């Protein structure tokens, strides 16, 4: 569910213009030891909420994958002392030294670019984009905006990344005007500047949107699948088990209220 990689090669960091947390570009050896995987890795020391942010990223990625959404394959990336010592970037090494020894990684996508502002969806991309819009609404991810799409575009299509700000209530972020995602008005920030969702203009007014497959995938998630998400998290993140438990509890609530979630999505679109 969350494959383990041992970091073996540091290829640099993504610039702050492309990502506030300046994720690392790494290569790592899979558990079997016979394959190398290139990933983009977030370290807890560069995230505002530390390990909490890694937990949100991991659980959101697992959920997105189960819902059939185009999220890069997630990994747990082990940063050994020997590996950190070999990093020549002084600032990067300082981040690693104040970080948990297990980072969150996403498989690198070759020949990709950030989804350009004003991108017009192809007809065949619309159902997927509608599911992404509904997903972001459900997990309260207001960070896939026109000015910060957190979407990649490659020959393989669209990929969604960076879910660090999802599940804000579970992470202890107190939003005074927050409404649960199945309540009327919960998606108001998705429809107006500066928080307009990247796909809102493409989807608005489309009366042919069909969420049956998306709803079906939610309904197919059993309780033991949510339990498996928690079990997949590494021991090194156990100091924040209350956050992980709260996120999974929120997922169960979303599933129970999925009909109303989609009603709110349909209302704003």
pLDDT tens sequence across 8-26: 999 999 976 555 679 999 9
Nearest to 254 by CA among 187, 201, 183, 165: 183
pLDDT tens sequence across 16-73: 655 567 999 999 998 766 679 999 999 999 999 999 999 999 999 999 999 999 999 9
Within the chain, which residues score under 70 in pLDDT? Answer: 16-20, 32-34
Phi/psi of residue 78, nearest 5 degrees: -85, 125
Structural contact between residues 146 and 191, judged by C-beta atoms closer than 8 angstroms: no
The tokens describing 100, both together, are: 């948990």
Percentage of the chain surpassing pLDDT 70? 97
Which pLDDT score, from 0 to 100, does residue 15 have? 78
In which element (H, E) is residue 10 found? strand 3-13
How many Cβ atoms sit within 10 Å of the Cβ of residue 234?
A: 18
In this prediction the pTM is 0.96
Find the farthest-apart pair of alpha carbons in the chain and give their distance in angstroms, rounded: 56
In which element (H, E) is residue 245 found? helix 241-256
The tokens describing 222, both together, are: 């059993």
Question: Where do the H-state alpha helices sit in 4-119?
Answer: 51-66, 81-85, 90-97
């Amino acid at each position: 569910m969350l494959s383990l990689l041992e970091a073996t090669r540091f290829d640099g960091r993504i610039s702050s213009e492309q990502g506030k947390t300046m994720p690392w570009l790494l290569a790592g050896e899979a558990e079997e030891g016979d394959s190398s995987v290139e990933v983009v890795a977030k370290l807890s020391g560069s995230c505002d909420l530390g390990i909490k942010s890694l937990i949100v990223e991991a659980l959101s990625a697992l959920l997105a994958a189960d819902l059939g959404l185009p999220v890069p394959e997630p990994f747990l990336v082990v940063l050994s002392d020997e590996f950190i010592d070999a990093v020549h970037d002084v600032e990067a090494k300082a981040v690693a030294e104040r970080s948990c020894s297990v980072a969150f990684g996403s498989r690198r996508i070759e020949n990709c670019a950030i989804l350009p502002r004003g991108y017009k969806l192809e007809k065949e991309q619309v159902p997927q984009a509608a599911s992404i819009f509904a997903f972001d609404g459900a997990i309260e991810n207001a960070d896939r905006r026109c000015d910060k799409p957190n979407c990649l575009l490659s020959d393989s299509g669209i990929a969604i990344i960076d879910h660090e700000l999802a599940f804000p209530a579970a992470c202890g972020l107190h939003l005074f005007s927050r409404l649960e995602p199945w309540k009327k008005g919960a998606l108001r920030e998705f429809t107006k500047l500066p928080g307009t969702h990247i796909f809102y203009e493409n989807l608005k007014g489309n009366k042919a949107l069909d969420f049956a497959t998306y709803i079906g995938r939610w309904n197919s998630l059993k309780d033991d699948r949510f339990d498996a998400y928690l079990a997949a998290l590494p021991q090194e993140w156990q100091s924040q088990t209350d956050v992980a438990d709260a996120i999974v509890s929120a997922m169960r609530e979303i599933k129970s209220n999925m009909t109303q979630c989609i009603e709110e999505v349909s209302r704003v679109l």
